[in-house]
Structure formats: structure tokens, C-alpha cells
């Protein structure tokens, strides 16, 4: 397949998918509160979506190896649209939980299948660049989506859900007519040979990559959950200023992932870029402890965001190069570990913040060193395996 033709199409698809998802972010807490959700119930409402993705992403990845990428992408996007429409129609709390459960279950098919699609249409040399394009699409979607949701929420809290649902539905139509299948039928039997599961993923050298992604996502989710409180306490930043800061970080991350990452990997390789990303993440965590106004917060968070943002595409690229099973199976398990980090990160970081506001970031520094040690262990294991 011609990656120059199909990667831009996949970029458009993932951008609109994530923009639709981002539209509901600023509205969801207020919508749930109006229906009667307590802060604790809101937390469960957020967590149950990630939990469903944790459980079912490997399954959808396996199915994409057996039946092709395009059907699973269609299921994932259509499921997201269905969940948005169910939200817009919800009048009771249990209906919100039902929408999140259905959305988490079905939309878990999207990300691992999209990463497997990239692996199908790229060479090993360009794999990291392709994964970076997906990361850039996700980042840009999360920049524009919340802005659109905030604007239209002034009319009614249900309007953003209708917009997100229609946008997702239109994206599914686009996929149906324009996105070509990337996994030919004669290659689908490969995905039936040896499919990694959550338990088997913890065995062998590749376990280090899965655990690395878990820790990186855990740290990021913890920062996202506590940074607003920390910045308000340290520098007196308002929610409007914080919105601009996250937008700056997102734009910088999207530029690096979408434009520079491929060149960096071509020049230095995924391993060096991962080590540099871990260094920048640790540096960002450290600098965040010293924010004192808007520009230091924007600069330090952007340093962290760039470092954190280049790790996932490189890990995905390495994983698809070394996996012995189907690409969808491997990326499905990776997405599952990603979701697990998003479940545990906010809860643990919130608890640490109540003990001492700086603790989530000090912990982030320590976890980054653990990630570095894991990655060094992975490299040694692969070298030994290669020489055996």
C-alpha cells in the first residue's frame, strides 16, 4: 500500500474522532451534575470508560487481525457516536453509566486498530513517523474539540453531545467510503498464530515495553488530574489561563509528533528518542515544582508534554517490529495498559496531592527513572536474544 496516500486519510479520521471525543470534555462534569451525579459518582463515570477499554482493547485488536482493520475502525467510531447520542438523551444517572460502558466497550476498537493500520502500511524505517502522525492527530483533536464544546455549551449542555455524535457518524461514513482495508485476506491468518493477552504480555522482553507505557501513561494521567490545583495554588492561575497552557502544550506536542518525530527517528532511532523523551519528562516534572506565573507554567508543562508525547509512538513502533503475533493483538494489549494507567493515575495522584501538593510530581520523577531502567533492561534482553 502507498503510505503517503493512506496515512493522511487515517490522520483525518483520527483527528475527527478525537475532536468529537474532546467536544464533550468541558461539558461532561456539568451535564452529569445537572442529572444528579456527586463528585464521587463523576469519578466513577470517568473511570468506567477507561476500565472498559482496559478489558476489551485486546479483544478488538485480535478481531482486527482476523477480520481486517476497516470493520473494527468502523465499529469503534460508530460505538463512539452511539454513546454520544445516548448521553444527549439521558435523563437519569444510570443512563449516563450505560452510555459510558457502551462507549468504552465499542470505542476500544479504534486506537489499537488504527496503530495496527499504521504498522500494515508503513515500512519499519517509517513506522515511528506513522505512529507519530496518529499521536499528532490525537493531540490536535483534543485542542480543537474542547474549544468547540465550550462554545456550544452556552446554548445547551446537550448540544455538544449531539454535535460530537453527528461528527463521529460522519467520520464513520468517511471511513466506509474512503479508507481502504490495510490487511489483505491472505495475511489475516498471521493474527491467529500467537495472540498476546494481558497475562502473556507480562512475559518475555516485550513485557518491559508494556510496563513502560503503563508507567508513562500513569504519570501523565496523574499530572492532568492535579496540575490545575497545583498551578492555582502556586501561581494563582485561572481556568482560562490553564486552558491556554494546555493548548500551547498540545500544539507543541502535535508539531513534534507530526513533523519532527519521523526525522528524529530516522537520524537517531526509536531507542534514542525514547531515552530523550524520558529525560524531558523527568525534567518537566522537576521544573513544574518551580512554576510561579503563566509563562513558566506554559514552558515547563510544554517541556514535559513534548517528552511524554514522543514516547508512545516510539514504543508502538518498536512493539510492532518485534511482536511475533498479529499487529492488532499487540497494539490492543498496549492500549489496554494505556487505559490501566489512566484508571490508576488520577486516583493515586489525587491522594498524593492531599498529602503534599508536590508529591505527584516528585513521584513522577521517580517513576520516570523506573521507566528508564525498564527500557535499558528491554534493550539488554533484546541484545541477548539477538546474539543467542
**Helix boundaries (H) for the chain:** 3-23, 28-35, 39-67, 69-89, 93-107, 110-121, 127-152, 159-178, 206-235, 239-255, 261-268, 270-288, 294-322, 327-355, 359-387
CATH topology of domain 203-388: Growth Hormone; Chain: A; (1.20.1250)
Which among 169, 162, 53 is positioned nearest to 100, based on CA atoms? Answer: 53
**What share of the chain in percent tops pLDDT 70?**
94
Q: Over 60: is that where the pLDDT of 192 sits?
A: no
Cα–Cα distance for residue pair 105/84, rounded to 1 Å: 13
SS3 state at 16: helix
> 1-177 with 203-388: one CATH topology?
yes
Cα–Cα distance for residue pair 114/31, rounded to 1 Å: 30
- What pLDDT shows up at residue 189? 59
Look at 383 and 340; give whichever has higher pLDDT: 340
pTM above 0.95, yes or no: no
Residue ranges of the domains in the chain? 1-177, 203-388
Q: How far is CA 43 from CA 56, 68, 217, 291, 357, in A?
A: 21, 35, 18, 28, 20
Q: What is the pLDDT of residues 38-79, one digit of tens each?
A: 877 877 887 899 899 989 998 998 899 989 999 999 999 999
CATH class of the domain whose range is 1-177: mainly alpha
Q: Over 60: is that where the pLDDT of 388 sits?
A: no
Which among 43, 99, 77 is positioned nearest to 342, based on CA atoms? Answer: 43
* 100 close to 83: Cβ distance less than 8 angstroms: yes
Q: Over 90: is that where the pLDDT of 13 sits?
A: yes
4-18, 81-95, 156-170, 177-191: least confident range = 177-191
154-158, 189-193, 291-295, 334-338: least confident range = 189-193
Q: Which residue has the cell 445537572?
A: 34
51-60, 198-207, 316-325, 334-343: least confident range = 198-207
C-alpha atoms less than 13 angstroms from C-alpha of 259 in its C-beta half-sphere: 7
39-48, 66-75, 167-176, 312-321: least confident range = 39-48
Amino acid at each position: 500500500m502507498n503510505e503517503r496516500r493512506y496515512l493522511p486519510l487515517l490522520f483525518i479520521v483520527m483527528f475527527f474522532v478525537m475532536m468529537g471525543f474532546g467536544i464533550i470534555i468541558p461539558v461532561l462534569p456539568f451535564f452529569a451534575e445537572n442529572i444528579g451525579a456527586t463528585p464521587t459518582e463523576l469519578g466513577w463515570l470517568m473511570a468506567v470508560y477507561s476500565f472498559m477499554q482496559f478489558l476489551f482493547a485486546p479483544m478488538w485488536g485480535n478481531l482486527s487481525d482476523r477480520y481486517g482493520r476497516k470493520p473494527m475502525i468502523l465499529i469503534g467510531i460508530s460505538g463512539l457516536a452511539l454513546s454520544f447520542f445516548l448521553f444527549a438523551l439521558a435523563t437519569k444517572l444510570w443512563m449516563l453509566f450505560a452510555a459510558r460502558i457502551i462507549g468504552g466497550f465499542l470505542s476500544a476498537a479504534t486506537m489499537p486498530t488504527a496503530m495496527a493500520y499504521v504498522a500494515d502500511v508503513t515500512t519499519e524505517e517509517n513506522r515511528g513517523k506513522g505512529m507519530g502522525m496518529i499521536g499528532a492527530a490525537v493531540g490536535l483533536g483534543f485542542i480543537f474539540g474542547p474549544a468547540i464544546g465550550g462554545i456550544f455549551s452556552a446554548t445547551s449542555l446537550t448540544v455538544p453531545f449531539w454535535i460530537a455524535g453527528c461528527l463521529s457518524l460522519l467520520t464513520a461514513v468517511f471511513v466506509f467510503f474512503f479508507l481502504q482495508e490495510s490487511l489483505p485476506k491472505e495475511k489475516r491468518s498471521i493474527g491467529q498464530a500467537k495472540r498476546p493477552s494481558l497475562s502473556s504480555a507480562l512475559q518475555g522482553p516485550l513485557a518491559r515495553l508494556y510496563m513502560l507505557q503503563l508507567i508513562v501513561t500513569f504519570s501523565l494521567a496523574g499530572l492532568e488530574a492535579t496540575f490545575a490545583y497545583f498551578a492555582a495554588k502556586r501561581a494563582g492561575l485561572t481556568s482560562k489561563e490553564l486552558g491556554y497552557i494546555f493548548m500551547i502544550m498540545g500544539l507543541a506536542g502535535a508539531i513534534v509528533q507530526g513533523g519532527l518525530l519521523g526525522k528524529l527517528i530516522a537520524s537517531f532511532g526509536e531507542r534514542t528518542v525514547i531515552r530523550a523523551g524520558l529525560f524531558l519528562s523527568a525534567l518537566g516534572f522537576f521544573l513544574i515544582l518551580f512554576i510561579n506565573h503563566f509563562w513558566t507554567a506554559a514552558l515547563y508543562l510544554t517541556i514535559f508534554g513534548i517528552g511524554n508525547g514522543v514516547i508512545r509512538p516510539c514504543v508502538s513502533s518498536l512493539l510492532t517490529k518485534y511482536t511475533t503475533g498479529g499487529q492488532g493483538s499487540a497494539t490492543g494489549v498496549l492500549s489496554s495498559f494505556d487505559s490501566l494507567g489512566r484508571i490508576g493515575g488520577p486516583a493515586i495522584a489525587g491522594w498524593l496531592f492531599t498529602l503534599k501538593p508536590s508529591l505527584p510530581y516528585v513521584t513522577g520523577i521517580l517513576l520516570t527513572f523506573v521507566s528508564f531502567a525498564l527500557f535499558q533492561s528491554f534493550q539488554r534482553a533484546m541484545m541477548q536474544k539477538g546474539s543467542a
